[in-house]
Structure formats: structure tokens, C-alpha cells
Amino acid sequence: MKSCQIVDLGLIGYANAYALQKRLVAARKADAVGDVLLLCEHTPVITQGRNGKREHLLVSENVLRQRNVEFYETSRGGDVTYHGPGQLVGYPILQLGAIRKDVVWYVRMLEEVMIRTTREFGICAEREAGKTGIWVPGEKKEFIRSSPRGEQPAEIAAEKLGAIGVHISRWVTSHGFAYNVSTDLRNFDLIVPCGIAGRKATSLEKLLGRAVNGKEVAPKMVRHFGDVFGLEIGAGTKEELLGMLEPREQMVALPA
């Protein structure tokens, strides 16, 4: 069984995490490091994927500055999303070619990891056809009046619990998933989440009606990640990871 090192970065700015991902991708392509899953929470940030539309950011950059929310354009797939404290973000840096060369399968399996994790909390999350991420039934709305039959229940739109946006180069993966544990959902009002109008984000804390800590969720997510991708999980630290990267990078930088 192939191994994968889990490294928890804690609370980290998006730019720093993105820079580390790029270093790891280069090292993974060169087989200088093995598979790695980075876990983290971000300081408040809105990111736009390479297929995203700027109009899905609903406020000006001045408003973002007032709210202390950063904005970055990224190389991942997908549209616009929000990251912030209380959200468990996972960045797998995998040599997918050694697992299965299938991008759609990879995205479905990231969904499966989040679905299985959610099930452990007694909540049934599902996929939606034509969309990425995982969804749960939305709150029931009040009845709407519809003639000639009188009152009819309004359609209940599913709410998004976990989002996915990935990038794959030479079958090495980067970016990944974002799972709302205790996220401040008000910040999703600044955007059209994932470019899907009329849909809301939700969180595990909101669904359970109690406080939930990311440390309660992360071990379950890691276990299911290993099971789904057939990887033996080992824990590492950021310092150990950087210690592996830096000598390799210095060797590459030396003149021939």
C-alpha cells in the first residue's frame, strides 16, 4: 500500500499555502517527495478559479478590505468560493497516475471522503448531478400560494456543505476540498458560491445545532481519505516537510 503524509498547517494565509503547494507539486513531479495531504484553515479569503467569473464577487474590493477578506485568482478549477476560520481545507498533492488516471473519478472520490465523514455525524450528504461538492437538504420554506390548487410547498434547494476545486498537472494534483465545520456563513453572501445562484452554504455546526471543533472532524476526514484512495496514512509536521523540500530545491538551483 502506498503511503501519504498528513501535515496540519493550522491557520495559514492563502498565499503562503498556495506557495507551499506549488513547491510540493514541483517536488512530487520529480519524485523528490511522496504523496502529501495538507490540512489547514485559512484566514478570510475569497478565491476565484480559472473558469470563474468576476461578477460572482458581489462586493467591491474596498468592501473586502473593510471586512478584512483577501481576494486571489488561482489555477484551480471551479468558480468563486470563500475560505475562512472554521473551515477544514484539504490540499492533496498526489501522483494520481500511480492511483488512477481519471480526473472525474478523482473528484468523485474527494466527494466520497466528505460524504463518509459527514455520515459519521448522523447526517446524509449527497452529490448533485452536474455539480461538484456535497449537498444536504435545505431548510423548509414557508408555503407559497399557487393557483388553482391553493397552497403548495416551495421547492427546497439543497445547501452546500463541502466544495471542491482541483488542478492536475502531469497527473500531480493540487488544490482540493473545503468542508464547512463552523464557518461564518455570512461571508458566503459576498459571492455567488461556486457560481450557482440561489444556493446557500451550510456548516456541520449549523446542521448539528451544536458547537463543533475542527479537531473533531479532521481525524475522521483523514481516515476516510486513506480508505478511499488506498493510502497508508502517516503524520508529519510542516518543519519536517520543509526539511525535505529545501535540500532538494537547493540541489536543483545549483549551476551545472
H-only helix segments in the chain? 14-29, 61-66, 103-119, 204-208, 214-229, 238-253
Closest CA to 8 of 220, 162, 235, 242: 235
Partner residues linked to 37 by β-bridges? 6, 92
DSSP sequence for 179-215: EESS--GGGGGGB-GGG-TT--B--HHHHHTS---HH
Residue of 4, 40, 124, 194 marked active site:
194
> Residue 231 and residue 235: Cα distance in Å, rounded?
13
Closest CA to 95 of 195, 4, 214, 201: 4
Look at the block and give the residue holding cell 475560505: 83
Closest CA to 81 of 182, 168, 199: 199
Closest CA to 24 of 194, 195, 212, 249: 249
Structural contact between residues 128 and 159, judged by C-beta atoms closer than 8 angstroms: no
**Number of CB atoms found within 10 A of residue 168's CB:** 19
> Residue 70 and residue 17: Cα distance in Å, rounded?
14
- 194 flagged as catalytic: yes
Catalytic residue numbers, as ranges? 194
